[in-house]
Amino acid sequence: MKERLLLTGAHGMVGRNILEHPMAVEWELLTPSRRELDLSDGALTEAYVRSTKPDIVVHAAGRVGGIQANIANPVAFLVENIDMGRNLLLACRDAGVRRFLNLGSSCMYPRDRSDLLREDDLLSGALETTNEGYALAKIFSTRLCEYISREDESFHYKTLIPCNIYGRHDKFDPAVSHLIPAVIRKVHDAKLRGEGEVAVWGDGQARREFMYAEDLADAVMRAAADITIIPPLMNIGIGRDYTIDEYYRMAAVVIGWDGELRHDISKPAGMLKKQVDISKQRAWGWSPTHSLMEGIAKTYDFFLKGTDR
């Protein structure tokens, strides 16, 4: 008999990539919509978990967005994500669900770090102000996982901290999109309109690490199967970062646009560097398979098909 896996956020980018993974068929999947499971309601969340009795939970739900969305809605990003994490984790603990895989975010790490971000760097410095609310909420859920497991060792509540993610089922609306889908949309539109330049927030030299969502889905499914042996907290990354300008140039090559980048230094660029240390990931024995150019090309192809746009 297949074990039952509850996947929150099944209709978001990461969730959809998880559902499309070949290992998904090995589980009996619960993929409730927000109407079926409103994680902001603690009582309803507890009732759902008790009635469905999952063997393991993968928590991929959350309110997400790029710099613009985080700056415009800090209260929502803090409160909504804290509520979802708190209600689900306590409901699972109280219902006796022994395995829980929580998805964190590299924005949980302190800003202004010039070296690789290690798991023990959490809470060792000030957070990036542009997405502090979201980061605090993710730290809350991560710590709650650790505390539940610490109080009772029969609970295996673990957290993966992915680098930035992009890929199929991404959001390409400039108001809410992250870097790579935003770059794809801007460069694509510039090509269609015959424009010779696109605007870039900041000086273009901030560095970011991005993983194709299909690769993250592979890590998640394998971690779910290995949850009793993986570390309580583990970064997931590709082992390399690139400047913002480099992402624009790679997208320009894929799209076939040969214009110039115009830097708007009046706009925030976020953290100057955000690359995670993947020593634990390597020790676990996992690595991604997509190159950045391959991932951008697949994402652009998905964008051109108009799906989820």
What would the two tokens of residue 70 be?
């985080």
What are the helix and strand counts (H, E) for the chain? Answer: 10, 13
List the alpha helices (DSSP H) in 194-291: 213-225, 244-255, 279-284
Single-letter amino acid, residue 155: F
CA distance 174 to 92: 36
212 is catalytic: no
CB contact at 8 A, 19 and 7: yes
Among 48, 134, 166, 247, which one carries the catalytic annotation?
Answer: 134
Cβ neighbours of residue 25 under 8 Å, at least 6 residues apart? Answer: none
Cβ neighbours of residue 153 under 8 Å, at least 6 residues apart? Answer: none
Cβ neighbours of residue 248 under 8 Å, at least 6 residues apart? Answer: 183, 187, 198, 200, 204, 261
CA 16 to chain centre: 13
Which residues are known to be catalytic?
134
